[in-house]
Amino acid sequence: MVHGLVTSPLRPLVAVTGGAGFIGSHTVDLLVASGCRVVVLDDFSTGKRANLARWADRERFGFGGSEPSVEVLTVDISHGLFSALAPITAQYGRVERIVHLAAQVSVIHSIANPMTDERINYGGTLQVLEYARASAVRKVVMASSAAVYGDVSEFPVDEQAVCHPVSPYGMHKLASEHALHYYSQVHHVPTTALRFFNVYGPRQDPSSPYSGVISIFADRANAGRDLTIFGDGEQTRDFVYVGDVVRAVVGAVLTDGADRALMNIGTGSEITVKELAQTIVELTGGKSTIRHAEARAGEILRSVARVERAERLLGWKSQIGLRDGLAQTLRG
C-alpha cells in the first residue's frame, strides 16, 4: 500500500527517474509547482534524500485536499519500472508522463567503466521506453548530452551536426536518442531528447573527483582551497544554469508537441575553464590558488550550443547569465 499521492485525474502523474539528483530534484520542485503529482524513481547512487527534503513530510502520508505531493521509490531502473510502479498506478491511476534523468553522469568515469553506461544509461533508457510503450505514456523526455557531438569542427554546434562521440557516455546517450526515435516512430510513444550542455547550480554534488567542474571549484574556493585545472585550461564549455534547464524539461514533458524532437539546451556562450576558475576565485575573495594537472584523455576541447531550435520548438531560452548563476551557486 502506498500513500501520499493525491488521487486526481486533473493533476498529471509524472514519473521522474533520477529525481533525487541535482537536476532531478529541481525538476521535481518545478513539476509540483506546476500542479503535477510526482513519483521519483532513484537508486540513490548519487542522488540524496536531502535534495527532496522539502517534500519529505508530504511523502508517504496523505494530506488530502488539493495539495500536490511526491512519492519516492528506491529502484534501479536498469531492472525495469513495472513492478516498482504497479502499486502506485493501482492506487493513483496511470503514469501520464516521464522525465528520464537517471544515469551515470561522468564522461571520465565512463571511459574507465564503459559497461556501466551500457547497463544504466542505454539499458535504463530502454527500460523506461518499454514501460512507456506498454502503459501508453503520453510523453517521455530524456536528458541527452552535448557529449553526443564529440569530435565536431563547427561552432556553435548545431543539432544537425554529424555526431562522433568520443566517450562511452556520449555513445550511450546517442544510442538512447536513437531508441527514443524508434519508440516514437514504431510504437507511437511521443518523445523528446534534450541535449544538455554543462549544467550547474545549487545541489550539484562536489564530493567526487567525477563531479561537475563548477561544483568542485565552488566548493574548494568557498573553503579557500586550491583549484586544479586539467590541462592548459583553454578548453571551453557552455555552462547553463539549472533553473533554466528545468524550465526546458518541464515545458517539454507537459506539452504534447515536440514529438521526436531533439534539441540543444545551452546558452550559446562559451568560457574557457581557466577563465571560469579565475572568475570563481574572484567572486570568493581571491583566496584560492589555481594549479594545473595533466589533461584528461577523451575530453572534448570545445563545446558551445546553437540555441535557436529550443526557442522555436519550446519557446525556451536561457535567462540566467554565468556571473549571476555562479553567485547563486556559491551561496548554496
In the block, cell 532531478 appears at 24
Residues 6+ apart with CB under 8 A from 20: 40, 42, 44, 47, 48, 49, 51, 52, 72
- Measured CA to CA, the distance from residue 68 to residue 300 in angstroms comes to 42
Residue of 12, 24, 165, 170 that binds ligand NAD (CB under 6 A): 24
Site string for ligand UD1, 267-306 (x = CB under 6 A): ------x----------------------x--x---x---
Residues 6+ apart with CB under 8 A from 158: 306
Site for ligand UD1 contains 132 (CB under 6 A)? no
Site for ligand UD1 contains 228 (CB under 6 A)? yes
In whole angstroms, the minimum distance from the beta carbon of 70 to ligand UD1 comes to: 24
Instruction: Assess contact for 207 and 55: CB atoms under 8 A.
Output: no
Can you read off the three cell numbers belonging to residue 111? Answer: 571511459
In whole angstroms, the minimum distance from the beta carbon of 8 to ligand UD1 comes to: 35
Cα 225 to chain centroid distance, Å, stands at: 28
Site for ligand UD1 contains 164 (CB under 6 A)? no
CA–CA distances in Å: residue 14 to residues 84, 86, 97, 138, 230: 14, 14, 5, 10, 39
Site for ligand NAD contains 45 (CB under 6 A)? yes
Q: Which residues 65-124 are close enough to bind ligand UD1 by CB under 6 A?
A: 105-107
Closer residue to ligand NAD in complex, CB, 21/190: 21
Instruction: Assess contact for 211 and 204: CB atoms under 8 A.
Output: yes
Residue 182 annotated among the catalytic residues of the structure = no
Q: Which residues 264-283 are close enough to bind ligand NAD by CB under 6 A?
A: none
Catalytic residue among 169, 183, 200, 241: 169
In whole angstroms, the minimum distance from the beta carbon of 325 to ligand NAD comes to: 13
Residue of 77, 128, 147, 193 that binds ligand UD1 (CB under 6 A): 147
**Among ligand NAD, ligand UD1, none, residue 191 binds (CB under 5-8 Å by kind):** none
Instruction: Assess contact for 69 and 8: CB atoms under 8 A.
Output: no
Choose among 61, 38, 56, 252: nearest CA to 139: 252
In the block, cell 571511459 appears at 111
Residue of 127, 198, 267, 284 that binds ligand NAD (CB under 6 A): 198
Residue of 72, 99, 102, 314 that binds ligand NAD (CB under 6 A): 102
Contacts to ligand UD1 by CB under 6 A = 105-107, 145-147, 196-198, 210-213, 216, 228-230, 235, 237, 273, 296, 299, 303
Catalytic residue positions, numbered: 169
